[in-house]
Amino acid sequence: MDYLPLFFDLKNRQALLVGGGDVALRKARLLVRAGACVRVVSREVHAELDELIERHGGQVIIGEYHSALLDDVALVIAATDDESLNERVHYDAVARSLPVNVVDNPPLCTFVFPAIVDRSPIVIGISSGGQSPVLARLLRARLETLIPSGYSRLGKLVGGFRDRVKARFSSVNARRKFWEEILQGEVAERVFAGRDEEAAGLLEQALDTADEGRGVGEVYLVGAGPGDPELLTFKALRLMQQADVVVYDRLVSPQVLDLCRRDADLIYVGKKRDDHSLPQQGINALLVEHARKGRRVVRLKGGDPFIFGRGGEEIEELKANGIPFQVVPGITAASACSTYAGIPLTHREYAQSVKFVTGQLKNRTSDLKFDELVHPNQTIVFYMGLHTLEQLCAGLMAHGKPGDTPVAIVSQGTSPEQRVLTGRLDDIVARQQHAQLPAPAIIIVGEVVALQSRLAWFGCTEGEQADG
C-alpha cells in the first residue's frame, strides 16, 4: 500500500488553498463539502470560486502567497500553474508538518485526493496512489452504478439508532450481529424502496424484540478454491466478510485471506505434509470452542472442503457438540488446475470418466488399487502426489498403462506462479527432476493431456508436448 487511506475531519478548520483558477475551484468545492473554512490566496480569483468561498464563510486574499498564511491551518493545497510557487508552498508546509497536496505533482504531495463515491455518511475513496487517476475514476464510475443512492439515507437512519443499540447490547458480537441482520434485511430493503418511515418502524421493532443471549455462534466450512480469489463463490465471500474468527490452512492464498473481514481474528492451523501445525483433533476442538463463545467462525479450506479436505470429520465434531454449521463448496484443485492448464478432464473421444485419487501412499509403498486406475478412456487426477510421482508412474505402468500415456503436472495452479510440465508416464519423473516444480501440484494422467498444447491459455508450459 503506497498510501494509508484515512478520512480527515475538517469541520470548522482552516484549509489554505493557493491558486484561484478552475483546479482550485474543484478542490474548494470538496473542502467546503467537508465543512472546512477555506482561505484562498491568489493574484486572481475565478468569480465562481470567490462566490463559493464567500457563501461558506471563508476568506479570499487577492495577492501574493507568504508562509505566514500557513498559521492556524490544518491542511494545505497548492493549485497554481507556477511550479516554483507550488514547490515553495510544499516546503513551507512540510517544515511545519502540515499535510500538503500539490495538484498533479505526486512527489510534492504528502497526501492525495481519492476519486470519491459520496453517499454521505457513507463515503468511498479510491486511489491509484498517483499511478493512474483515470483507472481510479473508472472504478468510481462502476461503484456509482452499483451502490444505490439509498445507502446515504440508510446510513443516516441507522446512525440515529447507534447509541440506543449500543446501550441495548453489552457485547460487541451481539451488536454486530444485530446490525448485520438489519443492514442486509427488510429494513434496508424498505429504505431502498423509499419507504423510510416503515424502515424506521421495523428497526424500532427489531430493537425491542432483540434477544442478546442467542447463545452459540455458527461455523461455516468454506471452500476457498485453488488460490485465485476470483474463483471464490459469492456465498464464500459473504460469509468471510461476516466472520468473527477465520481458521485457515496453508493452501488458502494470501489474496483470498485478504478478503476476510478486516477485524476478524485469523488463526493459522497449518497442514503441510508431515507438519500439521495443529493436529486435526485440535482444529475440531478450536471450532467448537469459538462457536460456543457465540462467534461466527469461518473454517477456510483450500479447494473444496469435502475433497481431500477432512471437512466431514470437522462437521461430525460440530454435530456431536450441537453447533450449527453450513458448508460452502469450493472449486477443487483438479477442476481449477486442469481448466487453467487447458486440459479438459473429460472429452468425447479420449475420456468418458475422471477419477480423483490421493497420491499419498502409506509408508511410500503402493497401497493404491492400480488395476482400477489403468482402464483406458479415463482421466486420473492425483492430489498430494508430487513426492510419490515415481511410485505412481511405476505402479500404473506395472499394471499395464502404456509408457507413452500423456501426463501433466500443474503446480501452483491458477496463481500467477502457475507452471505446467507435460511429458509421458515413462519420462515425467526425469522431467520433473530437471524442472523441480514446487508443491502444491496435481498430476493429470490420460489422453486428454495431449490437448493441452492446443488449448493452453493461462501461464506457461514447460517440457515438450507428450503427444499430438
Ligand X SMILES: C[S@@+](CC[C@H](N)C(=O)[O-])C[C@H]1O[C@@H](n2cnc3c(N)ncnc32)[C@H](O)[C@@H]1O
Tell me whether residue 2 is one of the annotated catalytic residues: no
Tell me the C-alpha distance between 439 and 443, whole Å. Answer: 11
**Contacts to ligand X from residues 63-102, by CB under 6 A:** none
Stretch that binds ligand X, among 10-18, 397-405, 434-442, 447-455 (CB under 6 A): 434-442
Of 249, 301, 304, 401, catalytic: 249
Segment lying near ligand X (by CB under 6 A), choices 131-139, 183-191, 331-339, 345-353: 331-339
Does 440 interact with ligand X (rule: CB under 6 A)?
Answer: yes
Tell me phi and psi for residue 380, to 5 degrees.
-110, 130
Output Rg (C-alpha) for the chain, integer angstroms. Answer: 30
177 is catalytic: no
Q: Is 413 in the site for ligand X (CB under 6 A)?
A: yes
DSSP structural state of residue 363: G
Site mask, ligand X, residues 223-242, x = CB under 6 A? ---xx---------------
Q: Coil, helix or strand for 300?
A: strand
Residue 418: which of 434, 452, 442, 388 has the closest Cα?
442
Which of 42, 80, 242, 332 binds ligand X (CB under 6 A)? It is 332
Span interacting with ligand X, options 104-112, 116-124, 284-292, 407-415, rule CB under 6 A: 407-415
Q: Where are the alpha helices (DSSP H) in 96-185?
A: 133-146, 150-159, 162-168, 172-183
Identified binder of ligand X from the candidate list 15, 246, 251, 389, rule CB under 6 A: 251
Cell 510419490, residue located: 388
Is residue 342 a contact point for ligand X (CB under 6 A)? no
Smallest separation (angstroms) from ligand X to the CB of 337: 5
Block residue for cell numbers 447490547: 169
By CB under 6 A, is residue 329 in contact with ligand X?
no
| Residue 442 interacting with ligand X (CB under 6 A) | yes
**Residue selected from 441, 444, 449, 450 as contacting ligand X according to rule CB under 6 A:** 441
Q: Which positions ≥6 away from 251 have C-beta within 8 Å?
A: 224, 227, 271, 301, 302, 303, 440
Q: How far separated are the first and last CA of the chain, in Å rounded?
A: 46
Q: Does 308 bind ligand X (CB under 6 A)?
A: yes
Distance CA 333, CA 383 (A): 8
> Does position 446 bind ligand X by CB under 6 A?
no
Three-state DSSP at 426 gives: coil
Minimum Å gap between C-beta 292 and ligand X is 26
| Strands across the sheet containing 218-223 | 265-268, 245-248, 296-301, 218-223, 325-328
Q: What residues make contact with ligand X under the rule CB under 6 A? A: 226-227, 251, 301-304, 307-309, 332-333, 337, 383-384, 410, 412-414, 439-442
Q: Which are the catalytic amino acids?
A: 249, 271
